[in-house]
Amino acid sequence: MRVLVAEDDENLRVAVESALRGSGLAVDTAPNLPEADEALAVNAYDCVVFDRMLPAGDALDYVEHRRRSGWSVPVLFLTARDAVGDRIAGLAWGDDYLVKPFAVAELVVRVRSLCRRGDLPAPRVLRWRDLELDTGAHEARRGGTPLRLTRKEFVVLERLLAAAGGTVSRAELIAAAWDELVPPASNVLDVLITQLRRKLGPPPVLHTVRGAGYLLGDPTR
């Protein structure tokens, strides 16, 4: 799951980023609205954390404008404004509202909850032949045998299964399991794919599509 944190207070931004990464999420950050808008234009996120008052404007106005255009990514607002009217306005266009100062651990729980509302419906069970992935219970099985997957292995396998036998690019898998701090040429995905193939066992179902990415299924089909 991937999160964008838009916060102009550098100390708070770093603390939130560190806590979210520590919980297994991929995190991008922006110190102002223009950079947040740029990140949203080029990346897909499962949740966005907005400080209400950012350089260049009120994030509430920005979210309202995007909501009216059909944007549906879950949003959590951070703010020092705790009046009832402010809360109502925030919840009218956002999905959650956390008043400063707050416990970072609470923020992590709220963000993870919002991420589960993202673009892929959950819970659901994805299957291909004898391979099964239960996204609600966060469990994977092959031939009825449970697979012990790391969080990133689970995310990569989910994207591959969701593609229904289609090829998924390296860039898409890296974006889903890591974030933009990981360069496309990094070998982190190659290492993960090797581990995932070992855990999936024979016969092989995870294939490399040279120059394109990876495919879960029958490469000759």
What pLDDT score does 220 carry?
58
β 47-51/2-6 pair status: parallel
Please give the Cα distance from 119 to 176 (Å, whole number): 12
Output the CA–CA distances (angstroms, integers) from residue 189 to 58, 100, 128, 142, 221, in the order listed: 38, 37, 22, 22, 25
Q: CA nearest 32: which of 48, 56, 4?
A: 56
Q: Looking at residue 23, what is its pLDDT?
A: 86
Q: What does the alpha-carbon distance between residue 161 and residue 177 come to, in Å, rounded to a whole number? A: 15
Q: What is the pLDDT of residue 147?
A: 93
List of the chain residues with pLDDT < 70: 82-87, 89-90, 117-123, 179-186, 219-221
Q: Rounded distance, CA 118 to CA 122, Å?
A: 8
Per-residue b or e along 35-52, where b marks 16 or more CB atoms closer than 10 Å to that residue's CB: bbeebbeeeebbbbbbbb
Q: Half-sphere exposure (CA, 13 Å, Cβ side) for 113? A: 10
Domains of the chain: residue spans and CATH:
2-115 (3.40.50.2300), 125-216 (1.10.10.10)
Q: Given this model, what pLDDT does residue 60 score? A: 87
Q: What is the pLDDT of residue 138?
A: 78
Residue 219 has what pLDDT?
A: 60
Q: Give the sign of the dihedral formed by CA 94, CA 100, CA 104, CA 105.
A: negative
